[in-house]
């Protein structure tokens, strides 16, 4: 199934470029919809842009069992982060039918939009809207790099921005949500097992750091006369690494930096960059960011620049539902438990309904990069059941 979408949103630099609510997204949703309809599932897209495919066997009743993931990617992302969970959800329906199992509960497959937050800057945008984890008016005002607001993107995508938001009725109809996802680290390589039950998700946040200096001419401005925000930002990025390196288990990343105006012979007037900081304990993340703020302000002053640090999102560490974890472990004898350093829609849904995760071994241990991999043998159910 994944080979069928391998051509969609290929990033010329390698990997994939599949921003949420964009045309690649639409192609991917159509792929999912066709597979779901071919299985007789009832497909619809809700007010938040989440695509649902329902299997309501005759006689089924009660809160639904939901599984699924996302299809959007980070820039240069791998082919499994998201799509593996969606393809596995479809394969799970096939397997139940092959084994003649008719679920006593309604079953739904879900595809959440803009999980990576690569377009509008807020991760898990679709699931946050559904779970009421972001105020609709704040979400609708989010802008992409072209200045398009989410509201405009929704309209272009055939959705009505006035209806986005917490979907209490849908949440009340769901008994549990389980997301299967490629493991994005080395945990299962080191444990020597094909699959793990998710135990938790690392708390994580994003901050935008804006450094203002004096734009000027590269040739006429002596070094002593410069207030160069690019130099200040570069020093800040190194300082961030130094601060995070001496806090055990902390992770701090700057993967995106944008100088303005960005001319080769121009000293920048402004440099923006984004901090992604994470730690198992939310208080430690907060302390880490405080130390980073202090370094940023000190360096800005030393470089004759001004800096602004603005929180864009903050998600607490999430522990998955204990009884669901026990059920998943029982279904997969011998499977270890693993915490996730990566965020997922399941991390947001866990705030609203009983939620769990399954992670499938990634033999490269690399993710958010083209090398991300899953071997078929590890993704087959019999491998999973040990
Ligand atoms: O950023 C994350 O951890 C996730 O892949 N969105
Ligand atoms: Mn993902
Ligand atoms: Mn991801
Ligand atoms: Mn000139």
pLDDT for residue 221: 98
CA of 381 to the centre of ligand 3 (A): 23
Q: Is the CB of 202 under 6 A from ligand 1?
A: no
pLDDT for residue 382: 64
Q: Is the CB of 372 under 6 A from ligand 1?
A: no
DSSP E strands: which ranges in the chain?
A: 42-45, 51-55, 64-70, 107-112, 174-182, 195-201, 203-212, 216-217, 251-260, 266-267, 270-279, 306-315, 318-319, 337-340, 355-360
| All residues at 6 or more sequence positions from 79 whose CB lies less than 8 Å from its CB, including other chains | 2, 6, 15, 16, 372
- Bridge partners (DSSP) of residue 149 are 143
- Read off the pLDDT of residues 311-348 as tens digits, 9 standing for 90 and up: 999 999 999 999 999 999 999 999 999 999 999 999 99
Angle at 152 between CA 119 and CA 211, to 5 degrees: 45
**According to the annotation, is 206 in a ligand binding site?**
yes
CA of 95 to the centre of ligand 3 (A): 27
Average pLDDT of 239-260?
A: 98
Residue of 4, 367, 359 lying closest to 183 (CA atoms): 359
From residue 129, how far is each of 183, 187, 222, 281, 286 by CA, in Å? Answer: 25, 31, 51, 25, 25
**According to the annotation, is 181 in a ligand binding site?**
yes
Q: Is the CB of 123 under 6 A from ligand 1?
A: yes
H-run or E-run covering 335: none
Q: Where in the chain is the domain with CATH 3.40.630.10?
A: 2-202+318-385
What's the sign of the alpha-carbon dihedral 108, 380, 80, 320? Answer: positive
How big is the chain, counted in residues? 386
Q: Is the CB of 201 under 6 A from ligand 1?
A: no
- Read off the pLDDT of residues 106-142 as tens digits, 9 standing for 90 and up: 999 999 999 999 999 999 999 999 999 999 999 999 9
CA of 160 to the centre of ligand 2 (A): 26
Q: Is the CB of 342 under 6 A from ligand 1?
A: yes
68: preceding bond cis by omega (within 30 degrees): no
Report percent pLDDT > 90 for the chain: 96
- Here the ipTM equals 0.93
- Read off the pLDDT of residues 5-39 as tens digits, 9 standing for 90 and up: 999 999 999 999 999 988 899 999 999 999 999 99
Average pLDDT of 56-76?
A: 98
What pTM did the predictor assign?
0.95
- Read off the pLDDT of residues 151-160 as tens digits, 9 standing for 90 and up: 999 999 999 9
CA of 137 to the centre of ligand 1 (A): 23
Superfamily of domain 2-202+318-385: Zn peptidases (3.40.630.10)
> Which residues neighbour ligand 3 (ion) by CB within 5 Å?
81
What's the sign of the alpha-carbon dihedral 112, 117, 119, 120? Answer: positive
Report percent pLDDT > 70 for the chain: 98
DSSP 378: H
Rounded to the nearest 5 percent, the helix, strand and coil shares of the chain are 35, 25, 40
From residue 317, how far is each of 29, 169, 320, 363 by CA, in Å? Answer: 30, 26, 10, 26
pLDDT for residue 380: 78
Q: Is the CB of 343 under 6 A from ligand 1?
A: yes
From residue 228, how far is each of 213, 292, 305 by CA, in Å? Answer: 5, 20, 7
* pLDDT higher than 70, residue 300: yes
What is the rounded CA–CA span in Å between residue 239 and residue 235? 6
Q: Could you tell me whether strands 51-55 and 251-260 are parallel, antiparallel, or unpaired per DSSP bridges?
A: unpaired
CA of 123 to the centre of ligand 1 (A): 7
203-315, CATH topology level: Alpha-Beta Plaits (3.30.70)
H-run or E-run covering 379: helix 376-379
Q: Where in the chain is the domain with CATH 3.30.70.360?
A: 203-315
Question: CB 148: neighbour CB atoms within 10 A?
Answer: 16
Q: Is the CB of 116 under 6 A from ligand 1?
A: yes
Q: Is the CB of 318 under 6 A from ligand 1?
A: no
pLDDT for residue 5: 98
Q: Residue 42 — φ and ψ, nearest 5°?
A: -95, 110
Average pLDDT of 92-113?
A: 97
**Ligand 1 atom, smallest distance to 367 CA:** 5
Confidence band (pLDDT; 50, 70, 90) for 379? confident
pLDDT for residue 386: 43
**According to the annotation, is 116 in a ligand binding site?**
yes
CA of 229 to the centre of ligand 4 (A): 20
pLDDT for residue 265: 98
- Bridge partners (DSSP) of residue 45 are 51
**According to the annotation, is 278 in a ligand binding site?**
yes
**According to the annotation, is 204 in a ligand binding site?**
no
């Amino acid at each position: 199934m994944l080979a069928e979408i391998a051509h969609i949103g290929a990033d010329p630099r390698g990997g994939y470029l599949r921003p949420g609510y964009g045309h690649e997204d639409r192609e991917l949703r159509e792929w999912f919809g066709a597979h779901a309809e071919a299985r007789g599932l009832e497909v619809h897209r809700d007010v938040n842009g989440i695509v649902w495919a329902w299997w309501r066997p005759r006689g089924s009743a009660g809160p639904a069992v939901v599984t699924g993931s996302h299809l959007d990617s980070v820039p240069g992302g791998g082919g499994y982060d998201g799509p593996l969970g969606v393809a596995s959800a479809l394969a799970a329906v096939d397997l139940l039918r092959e084994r003649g199992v008719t679920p006593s509960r309604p079953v739904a497959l879900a595809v959440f939009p803009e999980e990576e937050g690569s377009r509008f800057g807020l991760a898990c945008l679709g699931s946050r809207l559904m779970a009421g984890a972001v105020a609709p008016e704040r979400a609708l005002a989010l802008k992409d790099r072209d200045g398009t607001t989410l509201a405009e993107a929704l309209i272009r995508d055939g959705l009505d921005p006035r209806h986005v938001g917490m979907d209490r009725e849908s949440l009340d109809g769901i008994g549990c949500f389980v997301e299967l996802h490629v493991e994005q680290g080395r945990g299962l390589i080191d444990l020597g097992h094909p699959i793990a039950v998710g135990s938790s998700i690392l708390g994580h946040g994003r901050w935008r750091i804006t450094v203002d200096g004096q734009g000027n001419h590269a040739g006429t401005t002596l070094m002593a006369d410069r207030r160069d925000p690019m130099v200040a930002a570069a020093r800040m990025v190194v300082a961030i690494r130094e601060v995070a390196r001496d806090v055990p288990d902390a992770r701090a990343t700057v993967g995106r930096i944008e100088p303005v105006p960005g001319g080769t012979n121009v000293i920048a007037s402004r440099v923006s960059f984004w901090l992604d900081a994470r730690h198992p304990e939310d208080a430690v993340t907060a302390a880490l960011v405080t130390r980073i703020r202090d370094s940023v302000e000190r360096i800005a002053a030393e470089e004759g620049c001004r800096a602004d640090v603005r929180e864009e999102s903050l998600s607490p560490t999430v522990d998955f539902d204990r009884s669901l974890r026990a059920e998943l472990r029982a279904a997969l004898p011998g499977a270890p438990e693993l915490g996730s350093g990566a965020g997922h829609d399941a991390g947001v849904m866990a705030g609203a309904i009983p939620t769990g995760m399954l992670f499938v071994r990634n033999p490269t241990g690399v993710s958010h990069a083209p090398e991300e991999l899953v071997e078929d043998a590890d993704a087959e159910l019999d491998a999973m059941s040990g």
